[in-house]
Chain A
Amino acid sequence: MNAEELKNLKVSQTVDARGTACPGPLLAAKKAIGEIESGEIMEVLSSDEGTKHDIPKWCEKMEHEFLGIIEEDSFTRLFLKKA
């Protein structure tokens, strides 16, 4: 999905993991995904560079659908749909 499409998504859960270092964002995402239903959208905010690669891999393993990334100035927003 492109940035425009991602911005228009109905996000059910936002996880703000900015400021935490590896494996913080992953653990935060894992905790938060338990609180939403299958098919709902979750957004992860992270200032950790590695998260850009980690979250897509995590989605692959957990069978969630990774939707895309929006790069902000000092952090990234990662979108996924719960399996």
Chain B
Amino acid sequence: MEIDVEKQLEELKKKVGKLESGRKDKLTMVVFSGDMDKLLAAMIIATGATAMDMEVSLFFTFWATAALRDPKKKVKGKNLVSKMFGFMLPKGAKKVKLSKLHMAGMGKTMLENIMKKKNVASLDEMFKTAAELGVSINVCEMSMNLMGFKREELIDYPNLKICGVGTFLSDAEESKIQLFI
């Protein structure tokens, strides 16, 4: 059997070219967890990536969306189920729980004290830093609908938009790094 090396080489070149031109120096991350520790890890990676000159796009979905609520903002016109969800889920980055050793908030307070001592930025501060560094946040519309959250109750963040899975997929497709937290 004869193998057409030149033809195969041509095809390979085309494929490599596609890969090279398709991937940007970009990080796209699904932020799914509403746990403080996991959110913190996500935000450290996101801000760190900007130091590496990467474009960063975060896709907040499910439990993570609760961390984007602004405790100072109140919205009207919610139905009973939405109100219940709103009441049971943490209202903002300061209220999220630890995934382990939370111990009704005792573990979290202890960790926060250690973080302060070691100069580790709080989640709240991380969001501010991320905003300054141009990290964009996309919030899953379906999650917002499920939990009954409204755009008006989210934090003031310069690059925040509500979108669907299509935005995530197109961002992920052109990114060198994709993560799910």
Residues on A lying within 8 angstroms of B by beta carbon are: 19-24, 26-27, 29-30, 58, 61-62
- Main secondary structure on chain A at its contact with chain B? helix
Cβ contacts under 8 Å, A22 to chain B: 44, 48, 120
Q: B119 contacts A58, CB within 8 Å? A: no
- What per-residue 1/0 map shows which CB atoms of B111-135 lie under 8 Å from chain A? 0000000111100000001000100
Q: Among the listed stretches B50-58, B67-75, B89-97, which one makes contact with chain A, having 4 or more residues with CB under 8 Å of it? A: B50-58
Supplied contacts A27-B51, A62-B52, 7 more A-B pairs, CB within 8 Å: A19-B119, A21-B121, A24-B119, A26-B48, A27-B47, A30-B50, A30-B51
Number of interface residues of B (CB under 8 A): 13
CA distance A26 to B119 in the complex (A): 14
Closest to B49 in A: A23
Among A20, A30, A61, contact of B119 (Cβ-Cβ < 8 Å): A20
Cβ contacts under 8 Å, A24 to chain B: 119, 121
Cβ contacts under 8 Å, A21 to chain B: 118-121
CA distance A58 to B52 in the complex (A): 6
CA distance A61 to B51 in the complex (A): 10
Determine how close the nearest CB of chain B comes to the CB of A24; give it in whole angstroms. 7
Determine how close the nearest CB of chain A comes to the CB of B87; give it in whole angstroms. 34
